[in-house]
Amino acid sequence: MYLESDFSTAWQQLRNAQIDCQQALQLLRDEEGTLNLSLLDSEVSQRFFQLFPDEQDLPPVVPLLLWQSCYYLGSPVTLTPNLVQQIRDRTLTQVKILPITEKSYRCWHHTRDFDVNRIGAAPLVNPLTGKHDAEDISETTELFLSKAEDQIERIKTIIASALRNRASDVHLEPTAEGLQVRYRIDGVLRKVTKLPLEISRRVIVALKVMASMDIADSRRPHDGRIGEQYITGDGKALGMDMRVSTLPCVCGEKAVIRLLPRKNPFSIVDKLGFSPKVLPTYKTWLEQPQGLIIFTGPTGSGKTSTLYTSLQAIAKENVNVVTVEDPVEYVLPHITQTQVNEAAGMTFAAGLRAILRQDPDIIMLGEVRDHETAETAVRAALTGHLVFTTLHTNDAIGAIPRLHDIGPDPSLISDALLGVVAQRLVRRICPHCKESYPATDADFKRLGILPSQIKAEPVLHRGRGCSQCLESGYMGREAVVELLELDEPIREIIHSGNMIDLHRYLRETDFMSFRQAAIEKVFAGITSIDEVFRVLPRSALRVNSSRPERLPKVMA
């Protein structure tokens, strides 16, 4: 697969009389018509295509050999005698057509003008249909890798392939058999390929050089950044940041590359995944002149996207929006972003204090960890600032006791807090292979509802898996949101500090819990039952049968 420079093509071997023509053809093409692209000779190709300055005139053919005044061409389609004659007339040679698979033709076409030195994120176009190709990631990545001549080209190839397939992270893991390459796509890791053991270490070292890391030290974790350009589908060059981190492990150093294309990835608030029932409520929070909005969820739950999208929606020229973040992941227009730097004394608390002297209207505080920051944030939210922050809790309700623990006065919290957004990301069912099926009793039991509680057709959806979604059945993700709005009774409960009362109150009201939001998405055909159970915390889906629960309005 990975060629050395002294390697010879089938044509060279034929010319050196190491094999005969029949053997050369057998090397190039197996019985099923699959080509061994690495054995093709570029000179044969060049000579042939020189004769056809306008390739549009040509049917799909791959030049395999030129031998004894005969071009051996592979083609995925049947050529009419007339077409074959036209080729003969132009080449002034004999022409023999050998059937090859469509896939081989496509692969050959994709690698023909492949440039290892630029990171292309454009989807592959099928030369036979002119449509976007659903690529077999492993196959095309391996194919492109075979064209890469050094480690840096290999890394760029891996990154380009990751971008084409909407991956957010690339994992390079040393194993006893070689360097395992995996991509995280829609939140799930997928094996892509394995680089040979001989080059494993060299690839990691090259990556460390690209990220300006200390290559001499492989016993400690490192982190670094790479700034690169990549080419989009419409041929534009855009900037991209890559955050690289390494970790020494038993088989060597593992590297993870987080891909951060600088193209603003944030959409609009309406498209984040909020249930139609709670979206208007959330939007009213964003219009408030003051108050505190808390976002919760583990790393990778999409809360940063929701935060940034919301900030962008309200960052107009008449307001001053300032953030303190660790790290600043995306640079956003119309927003002053600052980066926490503990060593320089720029902590969240110090940053917040400094921001407050800068006449802010809207403040985004990456995280609240200590008493002082929490107290200052709450006070800011009570004195004419709209404050956004995040907390690490499992669900929306969990934010209340957490904030209590950190320490501000409960009465201040209950006055300042507008509400809490808790979220997770679920994968959307692939629209290309989506199918419906009647919900079974087991499905209802799993969701903890009765068939009679469903107003709509009791139909569920799933993705069969197709080439468009890389056989996963899913494409893209959206948020499942649990929204806790602080109404008067909740403010009073928070003030009194009794969490049991809060739970009881929420069960009796129309609280959009994770469970309700998930049931809504499942019956709306946005995601599958399995996905909901994969993503949401178990506690959120547990049904407490001893206490009746109100059902979402859409189904009641």
Interface with Zn ion (CB under 5 A): 430, 432-433, 463, 466, 468-469
In sequence order, which residues have a C-beta less than 8 Å from that of residue 253 and are 6 or more positions away? 174, 204, 218, 246, 247
**Least Å distance between CB 265 and Zn ion?**
22
Give 145 or 429: the residue with its C-beta nearer to Zn ion: 429
**Least Å distance between CB 170 and Zn ion?**
23
Burial class (CB in 10 A: 0-12, 13-18, 19+), 26: middle
Cβ atoms of 185 and 470 within 8 Å: the answer is yes
**Least Å distance between CB 72 and Zn ion?**
38
Give 291 or 473: the residue with its C-beta nearer to Zn ion: 473
Give 453 or 468: the residue with its C-beta nearer to Zn ion: 468
**Least Å distance between CB 187 and Zn ion?**
16
Give 303 or 427: the residue with its C-beta nearer to Zn ion: 427
Q: Tell me the two tokens of residue 552.
A: 């979402």
Strand order in the sheet with 178-185: 119-120, 222-231, 237-249, 252-261, 167-175, 178-185, 188-196
Nearest position to Zn ion, beta carbon = 430
**Least Å distance between CB 375 and Zn ion?**
50
**Least Å distance between CB 461 and Zn ion?**
12
Nearest of 105, 171, 95 to residue 143 by alpha carbon: 105
- The type of residue at 550 is R
Give 454 or 475: the residue with its C-beta nearer to Zn ion: 475
| DSSP secondary structure, 104-116, as one string | HHHHHHHHHT--T
Burial class (CB in 10 A: 0-12, 13-18, 19+), 207: buried
Burial class (CB in 10 A: 0-12, 13-18, 19+), 305: buried
In sequence order, which residues have a C-beta less than 8 Å from that of residue 251 and are 6 or more positions away? 173, 174, 175, 176
Give 36 or 468: the residue with its C-beta nearer to Zn ion: 468
Determine the Cα–Cα distance for residues 99 and 93; give it in Å rounded to an integer. Answer: 19
| Planar angle of CA 397, 402, 404, nearest 5 degrees | 105
**417 by DSSP, 3-state: which?**
strand
Residue with tokens 């270490």: 201
Nearest of 90, 34, 32 to residue 57 by alpha carbon: 90
What is the β-pairing status of strands 336-339 and 321-325?
A: parallel
**Least Å distance between CB 469 and Zn ion?**
3
Determine the Cα–Cα distance for residues 38 and 60; give it in Å rounded to an integer. Answer: 19
Cβ atoms of 50 and 20 within 8 Å: the answer is no
**Least Å distance between CB 430 and Zn ion?**
3
Nearest of 399, 78, 120 to residue 232 by alpha carbon: 120
Give 259 or 469: the residue with its C-beta nearer to Zn ion: 469
Phi, psi of 133 (to 5 degrees): -90, 135
Give 126 or 468: the residue with its C-beta nearer to Zn ion: 468
Give 201 or 432: the residue with its C-beta nearer to Zn ion: 432
Give 29 or 190: the residue with its C-beta nearer to Zn ion: 190
**Least Å distance between CB 515 and Zn ion?**
27
**Least Å distance between CB 429 and Zn ion?**
8
Give 132 or 334: the residue with its C-beta nearer to Zn ion: 132
**Least Å distance between CB 134 and Zn ion?**
9
